[in-house]
Amino acid sequence: MNVRGPGHRRRRVVRAYGVAAAFLVAATLVSALVGAADLNPLATVAALLDKIPFVHLPSSLSPLDRAVLFQIRLPRVVLGLMVGGLLAVAGAGYQGVFRNPLVDSGTLGASAGAGLGATLAIAYLSGSQGHLGAGAVPVAAFVGSLAGVAIAYLAGAAGGSGAATLLLAGVAVGLFLAGVQTFILQQSTQDLQQVYYWLLGSLSGATWQQAAEILPYAVVSVAVVLLHGRHLDVLSVGDDEARALGLDPTRVRLIVIAACALAAASAVAVSGLIGFVGIVVPHVARRLAGPGYRLVLPLSLLVGAGFLVLADTLARTVVSPAELPIGVVTALVGSPVFVWILRSTSAVRT
């Protein structure tokens, strides 16, 4: 194709990846350098590079600073990268499955299920055995999130195989689960604050162990979603035509929904509910690269990871030594930025 041929496409792809990767690296560095303990930037970068195999750099970081960097700050940065990437990829995947740009991992009953799971754990397990309760919350949220999606999927599939039916069933199941959660909270108001804090999301207390625990789920779910980018592009022309092109839309939907549910559940388990990322980041990716999911999905992974560590950096520094819930930051900072992005790139769309 002559005028805007493959060369044009390739340039656009390279540019989009370049912008996303630069954003990710910058966000990671900022997050690693900024915090309560004042780490020397150069020494910190040297200490980080020193960790790369075959690179040996002397760093003037004191043992205490080293501990702060590697045991407190870095696990939090890495967990933030993972959570952001997972939420953004799940959001993009759901938007492709439902052909609806306003959907994210919360829409299909995942958030409500996670919320209910966490509430149950906090209300009934932490009373007498506080230690057990704290450990049970991530597991309960993980299971609740997956269960919410599974119930929504089964309820929707019973009403037909279409995307719209599934979405409506998801909304209904989500409202139902949220109702149950409210009922339980009414019964045990002393847990309100703990649940409320969890609902707004936080990465405080992040450990390497948490990152290691969700890593297998994260890798599998993200890989499956990324491999289905082309299928989501085919789905975007409708079920009928997808079928006429030899694709089974019901099967693709099931696979992608399952993978997205797993991705979001892994994130929710370690961070609580963080809204906004799953809806907004895929749209930023579309602004960078157009609507094709083969690009939108990997770009969402990069941009989502960067966005969340930046938001977390703000969450732990703005009112330091206290912390803001990260959900508040993503909404307060993310919304204006998103509107600005929509405005400044509107020429691409219209």
Partner 1 sequence: MSAITVHELSVDLDHVPVLREVTCAVKAAGWLALIGPNGAGKTTLLRAVAGLLPYRGSIQVDDADIGVLRGRGRARLIAYVPQAPVLPPDMTVEEYVLLGRTPHLGYLSSPSRRDREKAAGAAERLDVARFAGRRLGRLSGGERQRVLLARALAQEPRVLLLDEPTSDLDLGHQQQVLELVDDLRRGQGVTVLSTLHDLTQAGQYAGELALLHAGRIEAAGPAAAVLTEGLIARVYAARVAVTTGPDGHPVVTPVRQPAAS
Smallest separation (angstroms) from partner 1 to the CB of 240: 6
Would you say 12 or 66 has its CB closer to partner 1?
12
Could you tell me the smallest distance in angstroms from the CB atom of residue 348 to partner 1?
9
d(CA 273, CA 265): 10
Decide whether 236 or 317 has the Cβ nearer to partner 1: 236
53-72: contacts with partner 1 (CB under 8 A): none
Q: Residue 349: how many CB atoms within 10 A of its CB? A: 8
Contact stretch for partner 1 (CB under 8 A) within 4-12, 29-37, 148-156, 207-215:
4-12
Between 5 and 53, whose beta carbon lies closer to partner 1? 5
Shortest Å distance, C-beta 211 to partner 1:
28
Contact between 51 and partner 1 by CB under 8 A: the answer reads no
Place of tokens 């990437």: 85
* Smallest separation, CB 146 to partner 1 (Å): 24
Question: Could you tell me if 278 and 94 are in contact, meaning their C-beta atoms sit under 8 angstroms apart?
Answer: yes
State how far the alpha carbon of 262 is from the alpha carbons of 67, 142, 222, 249, in Å: 32, 8, 9, 20
Kindly report the three-state secondary structure assignment for every residue of the chain: CCCCCHHHHHHHHHHHHHHHHHHHHHHHHHHHHCCCCCCCHHHHHHHHHHCCCCCCCCCCCCHHHHHHHHHHHHHHHHHHHHHHHHHHHHHHHHHHHHCCCCCCCCCCCHHHHHHHHHHHHHHHHCCCCHHHHHHHHHHHHHHHHHHHHHHHHHHHHHCCCCHHHHHHHHHHHHHHHHHHHHHHHHHCHHHHHHHHHHHHCCCCCCCHHHHHHHHHHHHHHHHHHHHCHHHHHHHCCCHHHHHHCCCCHHHHHHHHHHHHHHHHHHHHHHHCCCCCHHHHHHHHHHHHHCCCHHHHHHHHHHHHHHHHHHHHHHHHHCCCCCCCCHHHHHHHHHHHHHHHHHHHCHHHHC
List the interface residues with partner 1, window 165-184 (CB under 8 A). none
Nearest CB to partner 1, comparing residues 172 and 227: 227
For partner 1, which is the closer residue by CB, 21 or 247?
247
Q: What is the nearest approach in angstroms of partner 1 to the Cβ of residue 294?
A: 7
Residues that contact partner 1, how many (by CB under 8 A): 29
CB of 234 to partner 1, least distance (A): 5
Identify which range of 3-11, 44-52, 149-157, 206-214 contacts partner 1 by CB under 8 A: 3-11
Task: Return the range that interacts with partner 1 (CB under 8 A); candidates 1-9, 22-30, 153-161, 176-184.
Answer: 1-9
Binding string, 6-45, against partner 1, x = CB under 8 A?
Answer: x-xx------------------------------------
Note whether 93 and 101 are within 8 A (CB).
Answer: no
**What is the nearest approach in angstroms of partner 1 to the Cβ of residue 252?**
10
Residue among 198 and 293 whose Cβ is closer to partner 1: 293
What is the Cα–Cα distance from 255 to 190, expressed in whole angstroms? 40
Identify whether the C-beta of residue 323 lies closer than 8 Å to the C-beta of residue 204: yes
Restricting to residues 275-334, name those near partner 1 by CB under 8 A. Answer: 286, 290-292, 294
Which residues inside 202-241 make contact with partner 1, applying CB under 8 A? 227, 230, 233-234, 236-238, 240-241
> Of 3 and 52, which CB lies nearer to partner 1 in the complex structure?
3
What binding mask, one character per residue, do residues 245-274 give for partner 1 by CB under 8 A, x or -?
xxxx--------------------------
Minimum Å distance from CB 167 to partner 1?
16
- Where do contacts with partner 1 occur on this chain (CB under 8 A)? 1-6, 8-9, 227, 230, 233-234, 236-238, 240-241, 243-248, 286, 290-292, 294, 349
